[in-house]
Amino acid sequence: MEQMRKSYLGWLRDAHAMEEQALTMMQGMVNRLEHYPELRDRIQTHIAETEGQEAELRRLLDGYGESSSMVKDAMGKLAAVGQAMSGVFASDEVVKGTLASYTFEHMEIASYRILIAAAGQLGDSQAVEVFRRCLSEEEAMADWLANHSSEITRQFLARTELDLPAGR
Ligand code: MG
Ligand code: FE
């Protein structure tokens, strides 16, 4: 039981760090999307959802007596991923950002599935409920990106042809 709890809390800390990383990534991207208002609005909505997720995970960590400063470790692990996703943006950053976001949402989906299984195993049904809520928000965001990536790509290509500032 003790080992199980340790594993679970480690994954929870990683997930909390992941949400902080998600916020950094999306906040960096959203201001550069003035030519893609639909994508910008969807990301804005997901930023609000993500702030809620971050707060809920922090509340769970607090409840288990886990200090938030332990999050630092996991942040380091995710820094490389975050850099790839929020850092170097090229002229096609809207397409690269769409790709990165789609990838990130699926990492989140996988993480919440793992947390649901672990919290279920430990009998923490309240935590399971929190993770289920987060999972459905991530799935909705991933679906939205899946349904809009073709259109975003076509818009980007059309703007490039017209010599408009296409990358955003
Ligand atoms: Mg999230
Ligand atoms: Fe997400």
Task: Give 134-157 pLDDT, tens digit per residue.
Answer: 999 999 999 999 999 999 999 999
Compute the average pLDDT of residues 87-95.
75
Residue 70: give the domain boundaries: 2-161
Tell me what percent of the residues of the chain surpass a pLDDT of 70. 85
77 C-alpha to ligand 1 centroid (Å): 17
88 C-alpha to ligand 2 centroid (Å): 20
For position 71, what pLDDT does the model report? 53
Indicate the residue type of 30: V
Mean pLDDT of the chain: 89
Share in percent of the chain as helix, strand, coil (round to 5): 85, 0, 15
155 C-alpha to ligand 2 centroid (Å): 24
Tell whether 47 is covered by a domain. Answer: yes
Is the pLDDT at 40 greater than 70? The verdict is: yes
Tally of structural domains, the chain = 1
Compute the average pLDDT of residues 13-38.
94
Q: Which of 85, 81, 69, 51 is nearest to 13 (CA)?
A: 69
For position 76, what pLDDT does the model report? 57
Tell whether 140 is covered by a domain. Answer: yes
Task: Among the bound ligands, name the one nearest to the CA of residue 104.
Answer: 2
Q: What is the CATH number of the domain that holds 58?
A: 1.20.1260.10
For position 73, what pLDDT does the model report? 55
Tell whether 168 is covered by a domain. Answer: no
Tell whether 19 is covered by a domain. Answer: yes
How far is it, in rounded angstroms, from Cα 93 to Cα 38?
16
For position 110, what pLDDT does the model report? 98
28 C-alpha to ligand 2 centroid (Å): 15
Is the pLDDT at 33 greater than 60? The verdict is: yes
Task: Among the bound ligands, name the one nearest to the CA of residue 106.
Answer: 2
For position 58, what pLDDT does the model report? 96
Task: Among the bound ligands, name the one nearest to the CA of residue 141.
Answer: 2
Answer with the residue of higher pLDDT: 1 or 134: 134
Tokens representing 2? Answer: 């003790």
99 C-alpha to ligand 2 centroid (Å): 13
pTM: 0.88
163 C-alpha to ligand 1 centroid (Å): 35
Tell whether 136 is covered by a domain. Answer: yes
Query: pLDDT category, 66, cuts 50, 70, 90?
Result: confident
Residue-wise pLDDT tens digits, 73-88: 556 556 645 555 555 5
58 C-alpha to ligand 1 centroid (Å): 13
Tokens representing 132? Answer: 């289920």
